Protein backbone atom coordinates (compact mmCIF):
# COMPACT_ATOMS: atom_id res chain seq x y z
CA UNK A 1 0.00 0.00 0.00
CA UNK A 2 1.15 3.49 -0.71
CA UNK A 3 1.49 6.14 1.93
CA UNK A 4 -1.08 8.89 1.92
CA UNK A 5 0.08 12.44 2.33
CA UNK A 6 -1.90 14.92 4.38
CA UNK A 7 -2.94 18.18 2.88
CA UNK A 8 -1.84 21.38 4.53
CA UNK A 9 -4.31 24.00 5.65
CA UNK A 10 -3.29 26.15 2.69
CA UNK A 11 -4.06 23.27 0.29
CA UNK A 12 -7.51 22.79 1.83
CA UNK A 13 -8.34 26.50 1.72
CA UNK A 14 -7.11 26.77 -1.85
CA UNK A 15 -9.30 23.83 -2.90
CA UNK A 16 -12.37 25.26 -1.15
CA UNK A 17 -11.82 28.67 -2.75
CA UNK A 18 -11.31 27.17 -6.22
CA UNK A 19 -14.41 24.98 -5.91
CA UNK A 20 -16.57 27.85 -4.66
CA UNK A 21 -15.32 30.06 -7.48
CA UNK A 22 -16.11 27.40 -10.09
CA UNK A 23 -19.64 26.94 -8.74
CA UNK A 24 -20.20 30.70 -8.58
CA UNK A 25 -19.11 31.18 -12.20
CA UNK A 26 -21.35 28.30 -13.30
CA UNK A 27 -24.37 29.72 -11.48
CA UNK A 28 -23.63 33.15 -12.93
CA UNK A 29 -23.60 31.73 -16.46
CA UNK A 30 -26.88 29.88 -15.90
CA UNK A 31 -28.54 32.89 -14.29
CA UNK A 32 -27.38 35.22 -17.06
CA UNK A 33 -28.76 32.87 -19.70
CA UNK A 34 -32.07 32.60 -17.82
CA UNK A 35 -31.69 28.85 -17.32
CA UNK A 36 -32.46 26.78 -14.25
CA UNK A 37 -30.50 23.96 -12.71
CA UNK A 38 -31.65 21.26 -10.33
CA UNK A 39 -31.11 20.98 -6.60
CA UNK A 40 -30.79 23.80 -4.14
CA UNK A 41 -29.36 26.20 -6.70
CA UNK A 42 -32.37 25.67 -8.96
CA UNK A 43 -34.73 26.11 -6.03
CA UNK A 44 -32.98 29.34 -5.07
CA UNK A 45 -33.12 30.64 -8.65
CA UNK A 46 -36.82 29.80 -8.86
CA UNK A 47 -37.50 31.59 -5.57
CA UNK A 48 -35.47 34.58 -6.75
CA UNK A 49 -37.38 34.86 -10.03
CA UNK A 50 -40.80 34.36 -8.44
CA UNK A 51 -40.41 36.62 -5.39
CA UNK A 52 -37.69 39.09 -6.37
CA UNK A 53 -35.77 38.41 -3.15
CA UNK A 54 -31.96 38.61 -3.27
CA UNK A 55 -30.47 35.47 -4.88
CA UNK A 56 -27.87 34.99 -2.14
CA UNK A 57 -30.55 35.01 0.55
CA UNK A 58 -32.74 32.56 -1.35
CA UNK A 59 -29.73 30.27 -1.86
CA UNK A 60 -28.95 30.20 1.86
CA UNK A 61 -32.60 29.66 2.77
CA UNK A 62 -33.07 26.86 0.23
CA UNK A 63 -29.89 25.10 1.40
CA UNK A 64 -31.04 25.37 5.01
CA UNK A 65 -34.53 24.10 4.13
CA UNK A 66 -33.21 21.14 2.12
CA UNK A 67 -30.75 20.18 4.86
CA UNK A 68 -33.47 20.33 7.52
CA UNK A 69 -35.74 18.13 5.40
CA UNK A 70 -32.88 15.64 5.04
CA UNK A 71 -32.21 15.64 8.81
CA UNK A 72 -35.89 15.14 9.65
CA UNK A 73 -36.32 12.19 7.25
CA UNK A 74 -33.20 10.35 8.40
What residue spans define the domains of the chain? 9-73
53: Cβ–Cβ under 8 A, 6 or more apart, which residues?
47
Question: What pLDDT sits at residue 65?
Answer: 85
Residue 72 reports pLDDT greater than 80: no
Measured between alpha carbons, how far is residue 45 from residues 8, 51, 58, 62 in Å?
35, 10, 8, 10
- pLDDT (tens digit per residue) in 22-62: 988 988 888 888 887 888 888 888 888 899 999 889 888 88
Show the CA angle centred on residue 60, arms to residues 37 and 74, nearest 5°: 85
- pTM, to two decimals: 0.59
Amino acid sequence: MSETTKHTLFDDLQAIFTGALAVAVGVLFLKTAGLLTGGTTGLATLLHYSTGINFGLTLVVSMYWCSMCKIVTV
